[in-house]
Amino acid sequence: MAFDSLKTEIKNIIAQSGISVDDKLTKICELLQTNIPYYDWVGFYFKNGDKEELKLRSFAGEPTDHTIIPFGKGICGQVAVSNKNFVVPDVKAQDNYIACSIFVKAEIVIPLFLNGENIGQIDIDSNTADPFTQEDEDFLEFVNAEVAKILA
């Protein structure tokens, strides 16, 4: 499924009434993980209250032990501090990488902003080496902008 048609699906999920924010986040994770062949794990992490850590809120894919990630640790923790997209073509080349699965070869993490503040992120793990392009970054920035609308 092309990114353009997925954008329509994302907007439809965001617009649904009668379901919780968490259900919408899970539906988005499942949509991406099911329709993009190299998105093997998709999750949303959010700042955990006043703590300097991220907490996993919704995901699709294999369960992970990494439900809490300290700021600065791993790719997700680095994005929480840098406020910048982080694309990792080869996780083995990263010193500060938290391995979630032996099958993961690449990762992309895009911060999620609400009113200019980095409140969370979408995290994608791929079992395919170096699959992410600028098109993925742009698409995931769109996803996060849509998600921000239901968090306000």
* CATH code, domain carrying 134: 3.30.450.40
How many domains does one find in the chain?
A: 1
pTM for this one? 0.95
pLDDT score, position 61:
95
d(C-alpha 33, C-alpha 61), whole Å: 7
Q: Has residue 93 got a pLDDT over 80?
A: no
Q: Which domain holds residue 133?
A: 3-151
Could you tell me the two tokens for 130? 């170096």
Do residues 150 and 21 lie in contact, with contact meaning Cβ atoms separated by under 8 Å?
yes
Phi-psi domain of 74 (left: phi exceeds 0; alpha: psi -120 through 50; beta: other): left
Q: Has residue 95 got a pLDDT over 80?
A: no
SS3 95: coil
Residues 104-152: pLDDT tens digits? 899 999 999 999 999 999 999 999 999 999 999 999 999 999 999 999 7
Give the model's confidence band at 22: pLDDT under 50 very low, under 70 low, under 90 confident, else very high: very high
SS3 88: strand
